[in-house]
A and B are shown apart, each in its own frame.
Chain A
Amino acid sequence: MKKVILIGVLVLGAIGAITAYLVYNKPHKNMEKAAADIALEAETLFTAYKTDEQAADAQYLDKVVQVSGTVKGVSQEGGKTSVTLDSGDQMSGVVCELDELTKHPRTDFQVGEQVTFKGMCTGFLLDVVLVRCVEVQ
Protein backbone atom coordinates (compact mmCIF):
# COMPACT_ATOMS: atom_id res chain seq x y z
CA MET A 1 0.00 0.00 0.00
CA LYS A 2 2.75 2.43 1.00
CA LYS A 3 4.51 1.62 -2.24
CA VAL A 4 1.44 2.60 -4.27
CA ILE A 5 1.20 5.95 -2.51
CA LEU A 6 4.91 6.56 -3.04
CA ILE A 7 4.63 5.79 -6.75
CA GLY A 8 1.55 8.00 -6.97
CA VAL A 9 3.38 10.91 -5.36
CA LEU A 10 6.37 10.41 -7.65
CA VAL A 11 4.17 10.33 -10.77
CA LEU A 12 2.30 13.46 -9.67
CA GLY A 13 5.59 15.16 -8.93
CA ALA A 14 6.96 14.24 -12.33
CA ILE A 15 3.81 15.53 -14.07
CA GLY A 16 4.08 18.74 -12.08
CA ALA A 17 7.73 19.18 -12.98
CA ILE A 18 7.09 18.52 -16.67
CA THR A 19 4.15 20.95 -16.72
CA ALA A 20 6.22 23.62 -15.00
CA TYR A 21 9.05 23.04 -17.46
CA LEU A 22 6.70 23.26 -20.46
CA VAL A 23 5.03 26.44 -19.18
CA TYR A 24 8.42 27.99 -18.43
CA ASN A 25 9.64 27.15 -21.93
CA LYS A 26 6.44 27.76 -23.82
CA PRO A 27 7.29 28.98 -27.29
CA HIS A 28 6.65 32.39 -28.78
CA LYS A 29 3.63 32.70 -31.01
CA ASN A 30 4.33 31.26 -34.44
CA MET A 31 3.80 34.31 -36.61
CA GLU A 32 3.64 32.38 -39.85
CA LYS A 33 0.69 30.38 -38.59
CA ALA A 34 -0.95 33.12 -36.52
CA ALA A 35 -4.25 34.26 -37.94
CA ALA A 36 -4.63 38.02 -38.35
CA ASP A 37 -7.13 39.55 -35.92
CA ILE A 38 -7.60 42.58 -38.14
CA ALA A 39 -6.62 43.37 -41.73
CA LEU A 40 -6.44 46.95 -42.95
CA GLU A 41 -4.52 49.50 -45.01
CA ALA A 42 -1.41 51.14 -43.52
CA GLU A 43 -3.01 54.54 -44.02
CA THR A 44 -6.14 53.53 -42.09
CA LEU A 45 -4.08 52.21 -39.18
CA PHE A 46 -1.95 55.33 -39.05
CA THR A 47 -4.96 57.65 -39.22
CA ALA A 48 -6.59 55.74 -36.36
CA TYR A 49 -3.48 56.33 -34.23
CA LYS A 50 -3.08 59.94 -35.24
CA THR A 51 -6.72 60.74 -34.50
CA ASP A 52 -7.07 58.98 -31.15
CA GLU A 53 -4.07 57.08 -29.84
CA GLN A 54 -5.84 55.66 -26.79
CA ALA A 55 -8.76 54.35 -28.79
CA ALA A 56 -6.37 52.87 -31.35
CA ASP A 57 -4.31 51.23 -28.59
CA ALA A 58 -7.47 49.69 -27.16
CA GLN A 59 -8.32 48.32 -30.57
CA TYR A 60 -4.96 47.19 -31.93
CA LEU A 61 -2.41 46.67 -29.11
CA ASP A 62 -1.25 43.06 -28.79
CA LYS A 63 -3.32 42.07 -31.79
CA VAL A 64 -1.99 40.34 -34.87
CA VAL A 65 -2.57 43.14 -37.34
CA GLN A 66 -2.30 42.67 -41.09
CA VAL A 67 -1.36 45.83 -42.96
CA SER A 68 -1.10 46.51 -46.67
CA GLY A 69 0.66 49.46 -48.18
CA THR A 70 3.38 50.90 -50.35
CA VAL A 71 7.00 50.52 -49.24
CA LYS A 72 8.38 53.92 -48.31
CA GLY A 73 11.71 52.83 -46.88
CA VAL A 74 13.72 49.83 -45.76
CA SER A 75 16.34 49.79 -43.02
CA GLN A 76 18.75 47.09 -41.97
CA GLU A 77 20.00 47.70 -38.46
CA GLY A 78 21.91 45.13 -36.43
CA GLY A 79 20.75 42.27 -38.65
CA LYS A 80 17.11 43.30 -38.38
CA THR A 81 15.06 44.40 -41.32
CA SER A 82 12.37 47.03 -40.94
CA VAL A 83 10.04 48.09 -43.69
CA THR A 84 8.23 51.40 -43.48
CA LEU A 85 4.89 51.58 -45.21
CA ASP A 86 3.52 54.85 -46.54
CA SER A 87 0.80 56.32 -44.36
CA GLY A 88 0.02 59.41 -46.41
CA ASP A 89 1.97 61.44 -43.81
CA GLN A 90 5.37 62.86 -44.75
CA MET A 91 7.14 62.26 -41.42
CA SER A 92 5.47 59.10 -40.20
CA GLY A 93 4.54 55.68 -41.44
CA VAL A 94 3.77 52.17 -40.33
CA VAL A 95 7.00 50.37 -39.44
CA CYS A 96 7.07 46.60 -39.75
CA GLU A 97 10.04 44.95 -38.07
CA LEU A 98 10.55 41.46 -39.48
CA ASP A 99 10.34 38.58 -37.02
CA GLU A 100 13.68 37.17 -35.86
CA LEU A 101 12.27 33.70 -35.26
CA THR A 102 10.88 33.24 -38.76
CA LYS A 103 12.85 32.31 -41.83
CA HIS A 104 11.75 34.89 -44.38
CA PRO A 105 11.54 34.03 -48.09
CA ARG A 106 13.00 37.48 -48.74
CA THR A 107 14.20 40.52 -46.83
CA ASP A 108 14.78 42.84 -49.76
CA PHE A 109 11.92 45.15 -50.47
CA GLN A 110 11.83 47.86 -53.09
CA VAL A 111 10.60 51.36 -52.43
CA GLY A 112 7.27 51.79 -54.19
CA GLU A 113 6.21 48.16 -54.22
CA GLN A 114 2.93 47.00 -52.74
CA VAL A 115 3.28 44.63 -49.76
CA THR A 116 1.27 43.06 -46.98
CA PHE A 117 2.65 42.14 -43.54
CA LYS A 118 1.15 40.72 -40.43
CA GLY A 119 2.71 41.43 -37.05
CA MET A 120 2.10 42.36 -33.44
CA CYS A 121 0.99 45.93 -32.98
CA THR A 122 3.03 47.58 -30.19
CA GLY A 123 1.80 51.17 -30.39
CA PHE A 124 2.68 54.61 -31.75
CA LEU A 125 5.82 56.72 -31.46
CA LEU A 126 6.80 58.61 -34.61
CA ASP A 127 5.33 55.70 -36.50
CA VAL A 128 2.93 52.92 -35.73
CA VAL A 129 5.27 50.05 -34.83
CA LEU A 130 4.56 46.42 -35.66
CA VAL A 131 7.07 43.81 -34.50
CA ARG A 132 7.51 40.13 -35.34
CA CYS A 133 6.21 40.73 -38.86
CA VAL A 134 6.00 38.20 -41.66
CA GLU A 135 5.11 38.94 -45.23
CA VAL A 136 1.69 37.77 -46.39
CA GLN A 137 1.65 36.61 -50.00
Chain B
Amino acid sequence: MKKGILLSLMSLFFVVSMSGQKYFTRDGKISFFSDTPLEKIEAHNSKATSVLDASNGNLEFAVLIKAFQFEKALMQEHFNENYMESSKFPKSSFKGKVTNIKDINLKKDGEYNATVKGQLTIHGVTKDVETTGKFVVAGGKISAKSAFNVAVADYNITIPAVVRDNIAKTVKIAVDIKFEELKQ
Protein backbone atom coordinates (compact mmCIF):
# COMPACT_ATOMS: atom_id res chain seq x y z
CA MET B 1 0.00 0.00 0.00
CA LYS B 2 2.74 2.39 1.01
CA LYS B 3 4.58 1.45 -2.10
CA GLY B 4 1.48 2.30 -4.14
CA ILE B 5 1.24 5.77 -2.61
CA LEU B 6 4.95 6.32 -3.12
CA LEU B 7 4.69 5.27 -6.73
CA SER B 8 1.74 7.52 -7.45
CA LEU B 9 3.50 10.41 -5.70
CA MET B 10 6.57 9.78 -7.81
CA SER B 11 4.59 9.70 -11.02
CA LEU B 12 2.87 12.90 -9.96
CA PHE B 13 6.26 14.57 -9.44
CA PHE B 14 7.36 13.24 -12.79
CA VAL B 15 4.32 14.76 -14.52
CA VAL B 16 4.85 18.08 -12.74
CA SER B 17 8.50 18.26 -13.65
CA MET B 18 7.75 17.27 -17.24
CA SER B 19 5.01 19.85 -17.74
CA GLY B 20 7.39 22.80 -17.54
CA GLN B 21 9.41 21.67 -20.52
CA LYS B 22 8.10 23.98 -23.18
CA TYR B 23 9.25 27.53 -23.64
CA PHE B 24 8.04 30.21 -25.97
CA THR B 25 8.17 33.85 -26.89
CA ARG B 26 6.18 36.21 -29.06
CA ASP B 27 8.64 39.10 -28.59
CA GLY B 28 11.72 37.51 -30.18
CA LYS B 29 14.19 39.83 -31.81
CA ILE B 30 15.56 38.98 -35.24
CA SER B 31 17.84 41.40 -37.04
CA PHE B 32 19.77 41.29 -40.23
CA PHE B 33 22.81 43.11 -41.41
CA SER B 34 24.07 43.72 -44.92
CA ASP B 35 27.51 45.20 -44.96
CA THR B 36 29.31 46.44 -48.07
CA PRO B 37 31.93 49.15 -48.50
CA LEU B 38 29.23 51.32 -50.08
CA GLU B 39 26.41 50.86 -47.65
CA LYS B 40 25.51 49.36 -44.31
CA ILE B 41 21.91 48.22 -44.04
CA GLU B 42 20.21 46.76 -41.02
CA ALA B 43 16.67 45.90 -40.12
CA HIS B 44 15.05 44.75 -36.93
CA ASN B 45 12.01 42.73 -36.06
CA SER B 46 10.96 42.25 -32.45
CA LYS B 47 7.84 40.22 -33.02
CA ALA B 48 9.26 36.81 -33.85
CA THR B 49 7.63 33.81 -32.24
CA SER B 50 9.56 30.81 -31.06
CA VAL B 51 8.76 27.56 -29.29
CA LEU B 52 11.36 25.32 -27.68
CA ASP B 53 10.55 21.89 -26.33
CA ALA B 54 13.30 21.11 -23.83
CA SER B 55 12.33 17.43 -23.61
CA ASN B 56 13.43 16.70 -27.18
CA GLY B 57 15.14 19.89 -28.36
CA ASN B 58 12.54 20.76 -31.00
CA LEU B 59 12.86 24.42 -31.88
CA GLU B 60 10.71 26.57 -34.13
CA PHE B 61 10.79 30.18 -35.19
CA ALA B 62 8.47 32.26 -37.29
CA VAL B 63 8.74 35.86 -38.33
CA LEU B 64 6.64 38.25 -40.40
CA ILE B 65 8.69 39.87 -43.16
CA LYS B 66 6.65 43.05 -43.19
CA ALA B 67 7.42 43.61 -39.52
CA PHE B 68 11.11 44.24 -40.27
CA GLN B 69 11.84 47.89 -39.73
CA PHE B 70 14.57 49.78 -41.54
CA GLU B 71 16.06 53.18 -40.93
CA LYS B 72 15.25 54.22 -44.49
CA ALA B 73 11.72 53.90 -45.82
CA LEU B 74 12.97 53.35 -49.36
CA MET B 75 15.05 50.35 -48.33
CA GLN B 76 12.12 48.86 -46.47
CA GLU B 77 10.00 49.30 -49.59
CA HIS B 78 12.59 47.66 -51.86
CA PHE B 79 13.13 44.86 -49.37
CA ASN B 80 9.42 44.05 -49.24
CA GLU B 81 8.40 44.66 -52.81
CA ASN B 82 11.42 43.68 -54.88
CA TYR B 83 13.59 41.28 -52.93
CA MET B 84 11.48 39.40 -50.41
CA GLU B 85 8.14 39.77 -52.24
CA SER B 86 6.54 39.84 -48.82
CA SER B 87 2.97 40.01 -50.07
CA LYS B 88 3.54 36.64 -51.74
CA PHE B 89 5.76 35.24 -48.96
CA PRO B 90 4.69 37.03 -45.77
CA LYS B 91 6.60 34.73 -43.38
CA SER B 92 9.96 33.18 -42.82
CA SER B 93 10.33 30.23 -40.55
CA PHE B 94 12.76 27.80 -39.02
CA LYS B 95 11.94 24.27 -37.92
CA GLY B 96 14.59 22.13 -36.36
CA LYS B 97 16.32 20.89 -33.26
CA VAL B 98 18.82 21.85 -30.65
CA THR B 99 20.92 18.73 -31.22
CA ASN B 100 22.73 18.83 -27.89
CA ILE B 101 19.69 19.61 -25.71
CA LYS B 102 20.75 16.85 -23.31
CA ASP B 103 23.76 18.98 -22.29
CA ILE B 104 21.60 22.00 -21.56
CA ASN B 105 19.83 22.38 -18.24
CA LEU B 106 17.36 25.24 -18.57
CA LYS B 107 16.43 24.88 -14.90
CA LYS B 108 19.94 25.71 -13.77
CA ASP B 109 21.76 29.03 -14.09
CA GLY B 110 24.65 28.98 -16.49
CA GLU B 111 25.81 29.45 -20.05
CA TYR B 112 25.33 26.65 -22.51
CA ASN B 113 26.57 26.33 -26.06
CA ALA B 114 24.00 24.96 -28.43
CA THR B 115 24.11 23.41 -31.87
CA VAL B 116 21.03 23.94 -33.96
CA LYS B 117 20.08 22.07 -37.10
CA GLY B 118 17.01 22.34 -39.25
CA GLN B 119 15.23 23.87 -42.20
CA LEU B 120 15.12 27.57 -42.84
CA THR B 121 12.44 28.96 -45.15
CA ILE B 122 12.93 32.40 -46.68
CA HIS B 123 11.20 33.79 -49.76
CA GLY B 124 9.40 30.48 -50.24
CA VAL B 125 12.67 28.51 -50.47
CA THR B 126 13.58 25.93 -47.83
CA LYS B 127 17.21 25.01 -47.11
CA ASP B 128 18.99 22.89 -44.52
CA VAL B 129 20.98 24.99 -42.12
CA GLU B 130 23.22 24.35 -39.16
CA THR B 131 24.49 26.92 -36.72
CA THR B 132 25.61 27.43 -33.18
CA GLY B 133 24.13 29.56 -30.46
CA LYS B 134 24.16 30.15 -26.78
CA PHE B 135 21.59 29.73 -24.02
CA VAL B 136 22.03 31.84 -20.94
CA VAL B 137 20.04 30.97 -17.84
CA ALA B 138 20.26 33.59 -15.13
CA GLY B 139 17.94 33.83 -12.15
CA GLY B 140 15.59 31.40 -13.85
CA LYS B 141 15.33 33.61 -16.93
CA ILE B 142 16.26 31.98 -20.20
CA SER B 143 17.70 33.82 -23.14
CA ALA B 144 19.09 32.48 -26.38
CA LYS B 145 21.32 34.08 -28.95
CA SER B 146 22.63 33.05 -32.30
CA ALA B 147 24.12 34.64 -35.39
CA PHE B 148 24.59 33.04 -38.77
CA ASN B 149 25.08 33.95 -42.40
CA VAL B 150 22.67 33.46 -45.24
CA ALA B 151 23.60 33.69 -48.91
CA VAL B 152 20.92 35.76 -50.61
CA ALA B 153 21.17 33.77 -53.85
CA ASP B 154 20.40 30.50 -52.03
CA TYR B 155 16.87 31.71 -51.48
CA ASN B 156 16.23 32.85 -55.06
CA ILE B 157 16.45 36.49 -54.10
CA THR B 158 17.73 38.49 -57.03
CA ILE B 159 19.41 41.81 -56.49
CA PRO B 160 19.28 44.11 -59.52
CA ALA B 161 22.61 45.09 -61.07
CA VAL B 162 22.20 48.78 -60.17
CA VAL B 163 22.41 48.09 -56.44
CA ARG B 164 24.60 44.99 -56.62
CA ASP B 165 27.43 46.77 -54.84
CA ASN B 166 25.14 48.20 -52.17
CA ILE B 167 23.72 44.92 -50.93
CA ALA B 168 25.84 42.13 -49.50
CA LYS B 169 25.75 38.69 -51.13
CA THR B 170 25.77 37.20 -47.67
CA VAL B 171 23.72 38.79 -44.93
CA LYS B 172 24.17 38.19 -41.25
CA ILE B 173 21.10 37.20 -39.25
CA ALA B 174 21.09 37.68 -35.51
CA VAL B 175 18.58 36.07 -33.18
CA ASP B 176 17.99 37.28 -29.64
CA ILE B 177 15.24 35.58 -27.68
CA LYS B 178 13.99 35.67 -24.14
CA PHE B 179 12.01 32.52 -23.50
CA GLU B 180 9.09 32.20 -21.13
CA GLU B 181 7.82 28.97 -19.72
CA LEU B 182 4.68 27.80 -21.44
CA LYS B 183 2.03 27.08 -18.86
CA GLN B 184 -0.36 24.46 -20.05
Contact = CB atoms under 8 A, between A and B. Distances in A.
B26 A127 contact: yes
B46 A78 contact: yes
A41 B76 CA distance: 28
Given A62-B87, A97-B46, A97-B47, A122 B27 contact: no
B161 interface: no
Contacts of A97: 46-47, 67
B26 A27 contact: no
A104 interface: no
Interface of A: 23-29, 57, 61-62, 75, 77-78, 80, 82, 95, 97, 100, 120, 122-127, 129, 131-132
A23 B73 CA distance: 9
Contacts of B91: 123, 125
A131 B67 contact: yes
B49 A126 contact: yes
Interface of B: 26-27, 29, 46-49, 62-67, 69, 72-74, 76, 80, 87, 90-91, 178
Chain B interface main SS type: strand
Contacts of B65: 122
B90 A77 contact: no
A122 B66 contact: yes
A82 B47 contact: yes
Given A77-B178, A123-B67, 12 more contacts: A25-B74, A27-B73, A28-B73, A57-B87, A80-B46, A122-B90, A123-B64, A124-B64, A125-B26, A125-B47, A125-B91, A129-B47
